[in-house]
Structure 1
Amino acid sequence: MSTVLRYAVHRIISHPAGEVTVSAQCLAADCGWVAAPSADVAAVDVACMSHTGRTGHPTFARRYEDVALVERVGE
């Protein structure tokens, strides 16, 4: 008995009809500040910089989310 193995090459990309959403959270102890999720990455960055200017808190956790699409390469 013989076995034939076939492999297909795939790639993963952001879905063309989707959009990236970014949010941020200040990591200073007991702060609790968060930037609301937005498709405007620059607006979230500005909000973080404004928060730093007001509070001196320099560290944030940023989260990026998108819809992924897996495609077979060569088709």
Structure 2
Amino acid sequence: MSTVLRFVQHRITRHPQAEITASAQCLDPDCGWSALPTGDVASVDVECMAHTGRTRHTTFARQYEDVALVERIGD
């Protein structure tokens, strides 16, 4: 018995009908602040900057989520 392996190129992109969702969390050890997930990425950045203005906390973990689409190239 033999096996034939064929290399097939693929690409990965954001699904054209899906939105990116963003959220953030303050990394100050004594702070529990977070920006709720939203499709408005810029508003999460504004919320982080406003939080910094109120608290002087400057470090955030930002999360971005999207739906990926993997397609064969050349089909």
- TM-score range (shorter-chain normalised) is over 0.9
* Runs ≥4 residues deviating over 2 A: 1-5
SS of aligned partner of 2:24: strand
Q: Percent identity?
A: 69
CA RMSD of aligned residues (A): 1.2
CA deviation after TM superposition for structure 1 residue 29, in Å? 1.2
5+ residue gaps in structure 2? Answer: none
Q: Deviations over 1:40-61 (max 9, x none)?
A: 1100000000000000000000
Which AA in structure 2 matches 1:31?
Answer: C
Equivalent residue, structure 2, for 1:7? 7
Counterpart Cα distance in 2 of 1:74 and 1:49: 45
Which AA in structure 1 matches 2:13?
Answer: I
Counterpart Cα distance in 2 of 1:3 and 1:54: 63
5+ residue gaps in structure 1? Answer: none
SS of aligned partner of 1:32: coil
Mapping for residues 1-75 of structure 1, pairs under 5 Å:
3-75=3-75
- How many positions carry a matched residue from both structures? 75
Which AA in structure 2 matches 1:26?
Answer: C
Provide TM-score, normalisation by structure 1: 0.93
Provide TM-score, normalisation by structure 2: 0.93
